[in-house]
């Protein structure tokens, strides 16, 4: 019986009859794990269990119980937590499937027990034909202080020291799905070895989505709607605001059928969403979907306060309905944001941010005057390092004493922060030529000196102190007038190191309270410009954030550090104001609550992350502010910028690359030139970066020196090593979406995707899916940094 497959030939008949060909529901099957349980993570009062080797546990009362349905996948979680072992610590155990099965996707519920960054591991997939494939995995830890981790299951606190105390940092469990090669049946999965015992991977549940294996030759792709999600993103269509609905489609045929006829989508398919109050105004479009693959498309709908469920309808190139899928809950476009974390947490990064991929970060302030730090210390932290510790073991203290003497305090640098050569137009021209699509300027760092009009919150700002200019306004206004194509963002430090009004909230390296003179501890240093306020959060932090949102119209609120905050109130006003003024805005994960995206710092994720994220780092090997102690030859160059950007984008991230201007306001030539080098590449190969999406199967392919990106009509293979005349792409068991009739070009100065002179390169694919492209050495030689091979699907033009 095959009621679920899609017979393209029958489509016309079915649609004539008005019959709905219902698509197979995206399946999931639990993989029993209880035999491996060797740790108790949760407790009712903290007295039992030990998640982290130190007597800490999740608070059992906040965890979902029993069969847990999340994003359409069912997991088996304990029906009563806190009664015994509830997870397996990954240490190379071999989890056998009951029967060898072709597997489409693996689903994991996990948490790491370290306290800050993510960790990498490798699953090994053991197949019936004795082949073994690696599956890269990047996991996150259960809590992270002071910057937030935001999980799929969130608890408000966790127990410490066997229940002796509670830690009120929100604590997390995560869910992740990974695509699985299906060229053979899978027999078992070897869990990662946790190399670092201070940071162990705990697995609570495993589930899998089996492939659908036809009894004979496939009669069509085995389509299934993986998910349908009404988003908070919108586009103007005429005078109306159309909501984006993300539909993710899977082809559940196994990869072993990659070359079978009728197994793939290989012409234009359209995806529509309808339901009570919901009509499609711009269908999603898809030209290719191979066995074992998935793709997500935006469908634009008018959602007239729709209620109930929506139906997804898939039409082939002839306009016949080839399948429908219903039961997808309709959520109207959110237009009234309230300070409710459950509502705010649905907010998403806007479409423009998702497509922009590349931004420039600017660290410019009083710290640009000394512009100094030893290796592995951020130069913008000068004020902190000057005081910690205040003795000759400290290179910043030594440097300050030798350069300025003991009588100069940090605030004396304010007089020398002149901006005398600052030309905002020149900065913006540079960012644009560099290929960036947005910028984020530091409006106030931890030293508390604002680069904008801080009004009655404090006069510690460039408007009230030298050089008496509103830098943020000048940059925003110039960008609006001259570079409307660049989106405008603002960095903002939530705490301040030495603000006396922050002392009552102080923590860690942000204690608040005046600094003691680094050379004479009996004296306190001035905190120039401070006004008499009663509460740091109410009278300074919150109004400053609101001003950046409402007066300066920031599009990205890029907070730092988190900690005490009024972010829920802020976010509601920020989003409501943006809605009313027709803008789409976003907020990062360092504002203390409800993040849109994660921000690894001087780090990238080792594998694909489906949550939105953005790597940030300096041109300098380890500083955001200008560090004159760094040799300019150490700055990121064209190669490192482009390869990092492509790597990050291929894993669903954005890249925010920082420059540190001088106190006079110049971006020094070695930084500017390297940015421009990268910009030249983006001019011809940008079609393989901007507005691309990650490739679903990328997590299967140990990526070596190539990366993969997709658009509805193209597939990009970006090689980091210069090809010698042939490029051989072994996707490690994944099914490359390349087939007869496709055209492959190397994007170069003479051959970008829209130039008409290009000719396709010769290519071939063998039976194991290895692709070989032949490319003339003259073409290869014209390209620097990375070689972007763009596959255009036959029939897509």
Ligand X SMILES: *[C@@H]1O[C@H](CO)[C@@H](O)[C@H](O)[C@H]1NC(C)=O
Pairing of strands 223-237, 358-362: unpaired
Query: Binding to ligand X by residue 408, rule CB under 6 A?
Result: yes
- The alpha carbon of residue 717 and the mean position of all alpha carbons in its chain are separated, in whole angstroms, by 21
The residue behind tokens 């997808």 is 328
The encoded tokens of residue 31 equal 């993989």
Q: Which is nearer to ligand X, 190 or 303 (CB)?
A: 303
What is the closest distance, in whole angstroms, from the C-beta atom of residue 626 to ligand X in the complex? 14
DSSP E strands in 148-185: the ranges are 153-155, 158-160, 165-167, 171-179
Measured between alpha carbons, how far is 401 from 303 in angstroms, rounded to an integer? 65
Measured between alpha carbons, how far is 539 from 499 in angstroms, rounded to an integer? 13
What is the closest distance, in whole angstroms, from the C-beta atom of residue 747 to ligand X in the complex? 9
What is the closest distance, in whole angstroms, from the C-beta atom of residue 699 to ligand X in the complex? 13
Residues near 83 by beta carbon (within 8 Å), at least 6 away in sequence: none
The encoded tokens of residue 506 equal 């102080």
Full strand arrangement of the beta sheet holding 119-127: 94-101, 186-190, 119-127, 132-139
Which listed range, 315-323, 378-386, 697-705, 752-760, lies at the site for ligand X (CB under 6 A)?
A: 752-760
Query: Binding to ligand X by residue 557, rule CB under 6 A?
Result: no
**What radius of gyration do the chain's Cα atoms show?**
27
Binds ligand X by CB under 6 A, chosen from 37, 62, 145, 720: 145
Residue 151, sorted as left (phi over 0), alpha (psi -120 to 50) or beta, turns out to be: beta
Site string for ligand X, 713-732 (x = CB under 6 A): -----------xxx------
Q: Which is nearer to ligand X, 251 or 547 (CB)?
A: 547
Stretch 321-350 residues interacting with ligand X (CB under 6 A): 327
Q: Which is nearer to ligand X, 16 or 197 (CB)?
A: 197
Query: Binding to ligand X by residue 752, rule CB under 6 A?
Result: yes
Query: Binding to ligand X by residue 604, rule CB under 6 A?
Result: yes
- Nearest CA-CA partner of 430 in 368, 478, 467: 478
What is the closest distance, in whole angstroms, from the C-beta atom of residue 327 to ligand X in the complex? 3
Q: Which is nearer to ligand X, 361 or 410 (CB)?
A: 410
| Helical H segments across 589-717, by residue range | 638-650, 669-685
- Nearest CA-CA partner of 728 in 706, 750, 709: 706
Q: Which is nearer to ligand X, 119 or 439 (CB)?
A: 119
- Counting residues that bind ligand X (by CB under 6 A) gives 52
Q: Which is nearer to ligand X, 563 or 737 (CB)?
A: 563
Query: Binding to ligand X by residue 167, rule CB under 6 A?
Result: yes
Q: Which is nearer to ligand X, 11 or 625 (CB)?
A: 625
Q: Which is nearer to ligand X, 168 or 239 (CB)?
A: 168
Which listed range, 229-237, 425-433, 681-689, 735-743, lies at the site for ligand X (CB under 6 A)?
A: 681-689
Query: Binding to ligand X by residue 640, rule CB under 6 A?
Result: yes
Which listed range, 68-76, 409-417, 469-477, 569-577, lies at the site for ligand X (CB under 6 A)?
A: 409-417
Site string for ligand X, 514-543 (x = CB under 6 A): -------------------x-----x----
Query: Binding to ligand X by residue 231, rule CB under 6 A?
Result: no
What is the closest distance, in whole angstroms, from the C-beta atom of residue 38 to ligand X in the complex? 19
Phi, psi of 487 (to 5 degrees): -85, 150
Residues near 673 by beta carbon (within 8 Å), at least 6 away in sequence: none
Strand, coil or helix: 650: helix
Binds ligand X by CB under 6 A, chosen from 13, 19, 603, 781: 603
Cβ proximity of 28 and 74 under 8 Å: yes
| Helical H segments across 325-435, by residue range | 341-344, 351-356, 382-387, 395-404, 424-433
What is the closest distance, in whole angstroms, from the C-beta atom of residue 690 to ligand X in the complex? 8
Burial class (CB in 10 A: 0-12, 13-18, 19+), 322: buried
Query: Binding to ligand X by residue 160, rule CB under 6 A?
Result: yes
Q: Which is nearer to ligand X, 131 or 305 (CB)?
A: 305
What is the closest distance, in whole angstroms, from the C-beta atom of residue 279 to ligand X in the complex? 12
Stretch 86-125 residues interacting with ligand X (CB under 6 A): 98-99, 117-120
Q: Which is nearer to ligand X, 267 or 640 (CB)?
A: 640
- Nearest CA-CA partner of 221 in 162, 287, 277: 287
Q: Which is nearer to ligand X, 430 or 571 (CB)?
A: 571
Measured between alpha carbons, how far is 450 from 443 in angstroms, rounded to an integer? 6
DSSP E strands in 200-308: the ranges are 201-210, 223-237, 240-251, 269-274, 278-282, 284-286, 294-303
Query: Binding to ligand X by residue 412, rule CB under 6 A?
Result: yes
What is the closest distance, in whole angstroms, from the C-beta atom of residue 431 to ligand X in the complex? 17
What is the closest distance, in whole angstroms, from the C-beta atom of residue 176 to ligand X in the complex? 15
What is the closest distance, in whole angstroms, from the C-beta atom of residue 158 to ligand X in the complex? 9
Query: Binding to ligand X by residue 754, rule CB under 6 A?
Result: yes
What is the closest distance, in whole angstroms, from the C-beta atom of residue 266 to ligand X in the complex? 25
Which listed range, 4-12, 66-74, 598-606, 624-632, lies at the site for ligand X (CB under 6 A)?
A: 598-606
Site string for ligand X, 273-312 (x = CB under 6 A): -------------------------------xx--xx---
CB neighbours (10 Å) of residue 99? Answer: 9
The residue behind tokens 């229940």 is 163
Query: Binding to ligand X by residue 642, rule CB under 6 A?
Result: no
- Nearest CA-CA partner of 223 in 297, 317, 313, 323: 323
Q: What does the DSSP assignment read for 513-529?
A: SPPBPTT-TTSBPP-TT
Mark 249-285 as b/e (b = at least 16 C-beta within 10 Å): bbbbbbbbbbeeebbbbbbbbbbbbbbebbebeebbe
What is the closest distance, in whole angstroms, from the C-beta atom of residue 210 to ligand X in the complex? 9
Binds ligand X by CB under 6 A, chosen from 151, 350, 562, 660: 562
Q: Which is nearer to ligand X, 161 or 318 (CB)?
A: 161
Binds ligand X by CB under 6 A, chosen from 148, 225, 366, 463: 148
Stretch 414-433 residues interacting with ligand X (CB under 6 A): 416
Stretch 365-394 residues interacting with ligand X (CB under 6 A): 369
Q: Which is nearer to ligand X, 474 or 784 (CB)?
A: 784
Stretch 684-703 residues interacting with ligand X (CB under 6 A): 684, 686-687
Mark 171-181 as b/e (b = at least 16 C-beta within 10 Å): bbbbbbbbbbb
Instruction: State how far the alpha carbon of 385 is from the alpha carbons of 58, 376, 559, in Å.
Output: 36, 12, 22
Q: Site residues (CB under 6 A) for ligand X?
A: 54, 98-99, 117-120, 145-146, 148, 160-161, 167-169, 304-305, 308-309, 327, 369, 404, 408, 412-413, 416, 456, 533, 539, 562-565, 567, 592-593, 603-604, 606, 637, 639-640, 683-684, 686-687, 724-726, 752, 754-755
């Amino acid at each position: 019986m095959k009621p679920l497959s899609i017979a393209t030939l029958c489509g016309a008949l079915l649609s004539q009859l008005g019959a709905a060909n219902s698509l197979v529901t995206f399946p999931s099957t639990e993989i029993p794990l209880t035999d491996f349980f060797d740790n108790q993570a949760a407790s009712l009062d903290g007295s039992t269990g030990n998640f982290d080797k130190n007597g800490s546990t999740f608070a059992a009362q906040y965890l979902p119980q029993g069969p847990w349905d999340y994003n359409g996948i069912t997991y088996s979680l304990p029906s009563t937590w806190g009664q015994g072992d509830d997870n397996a610590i990954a240490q190379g155990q071999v989890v056998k499937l009951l029967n060898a099965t072709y597997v489409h996707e693996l689903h994991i519920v996990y948490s790491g027990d370290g306290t800050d960054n993510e960790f990498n591991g490798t699953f090994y997939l053991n197949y019936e034909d004795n082949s073994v494939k690696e599956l890269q995995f990047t996991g996150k830890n259960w809590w992270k202080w002071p910057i937030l981790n935001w999980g799929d299951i969130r608890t408000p606190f966790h127990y410490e020291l066997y229940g002796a105390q509670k830690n009120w940092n929100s604590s997390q469990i995560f869910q992740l799905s990974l695509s699985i090669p299906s060229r053979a049946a899978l027999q078992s999965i070897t869990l990662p070895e946790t190399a670092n015992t201070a940071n162990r991977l705990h697995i609570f549940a495993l589930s899998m989505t089996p492939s659908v294996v036809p009894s004979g030759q496939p009669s069509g792709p085995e389509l299934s709607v993986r998910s349908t999600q009404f988003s908070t993103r919108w586009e103007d269509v005429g005078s109306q605001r159309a909501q984006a609905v993300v539909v993710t489609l899977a082809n559940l045929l196994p990869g072993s059928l990659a070359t079978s006829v009728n197994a793939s989508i290989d012409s234009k398919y359209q995806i529509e969403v309808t339901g009570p109050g919901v009509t499609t105004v711009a269908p999603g479009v898809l030209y290719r979907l191979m066995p074992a693959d998935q793709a997500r498309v935006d469908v634009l709908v008018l959602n007239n306060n729709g209620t109930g469920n929506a139906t997804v309808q898939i039409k082939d190139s002839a306009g016949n309905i080839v399948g429908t899928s219903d039961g997808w809950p309709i959520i109207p476009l959110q237009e009234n944001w309230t300070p409710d974390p459950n509502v705010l947490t649905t907010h998403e990064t806007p479409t423009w941010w998702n497509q922009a991929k590349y931004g420039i970060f600017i660290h410019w302030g009083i710290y640009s005057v000394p512009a100094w730090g030893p290796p592995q210390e951020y130069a913008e932290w000068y004020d902190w390092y000057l005081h910690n510790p205040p003795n000759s073991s400290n290179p910043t203290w030594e440097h300050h004493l030798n350069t300025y003497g003991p009588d100069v305090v940090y605030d004396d640098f304010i007089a020398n922060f002149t901006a005398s050569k600052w030309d905002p137009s020149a900065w913006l021209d540079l960012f644009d030529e560099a290929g960036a699509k947005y910028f984020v300027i530091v409006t106030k760092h931890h030293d508390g000196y604002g680069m904008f009009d801080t009004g009655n919150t404090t006069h510690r700002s460039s408007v009230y102190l030298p050089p008496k200019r509103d830098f943020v306004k000048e940059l925003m206004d110039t960008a609006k007038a001259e570079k409307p194509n660049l989106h405008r963002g603002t960095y903002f430090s939530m705490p301040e190191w030495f603000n006396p009004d922050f002392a009552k909230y102080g923590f860690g390296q942000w204690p608040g309270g005046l600094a003691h003179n680094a050379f004479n501890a009996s004296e306190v240093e001035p905190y120039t410009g401070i006004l008499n306020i009663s509460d740091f959060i109410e009278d300074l932090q919150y109004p400053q954030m609101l001003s950046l949102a409402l007066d300066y119209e920031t599009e990205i609120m890029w907070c730092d550090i988190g900690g005490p905050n009024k972010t829920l109130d802020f976010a509601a006003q920020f989003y409501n104001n943006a809605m009313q003024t027709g803008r789409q805005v976003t907020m990062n994960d360092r504002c203390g609550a409800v993040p849109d995206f994660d921000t690894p710092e001087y780090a990238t994720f080792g594998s694909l992350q489906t949550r939105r994220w953005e790597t940030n780092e300096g041109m300098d090997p380890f500083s955001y502010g200008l560090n004159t102690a760094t040799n300019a030859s150490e700055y990121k160059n064209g190669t490192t910028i482009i390869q990092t950007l492509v790597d990050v984008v291929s894993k669903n991230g954005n890249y925010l690359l920082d420059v540190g201007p001088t106190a006079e306001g110049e971006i020094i030539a070695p930084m500017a030139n390297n940015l421009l080098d990268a910009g030249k590449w983006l001019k011809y190969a940008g079609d393989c970066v901007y507005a691309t999406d990650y490739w679903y199967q990328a997590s299967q392919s140990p990526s070596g020196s190539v990366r993969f990106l997709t658009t509805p009509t193209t597939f990009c293979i970006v090689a980091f090593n210069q090809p010698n005349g042939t490029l051989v792409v072994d996707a490690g068991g994944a099914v490359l979406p390349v087939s007869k009739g496709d055209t492959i070009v190397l994007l170069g100065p003479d051959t970008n995707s829209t130039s008409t002179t290009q000719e396709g390169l010769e290519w071939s694919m063998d039976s194991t899916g290895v692709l070989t492209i032949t490319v003339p050495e003259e073409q290869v030689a014209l390209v620097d940094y990375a070689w972007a091979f763009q596959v255009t699907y036959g029939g897509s033009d």
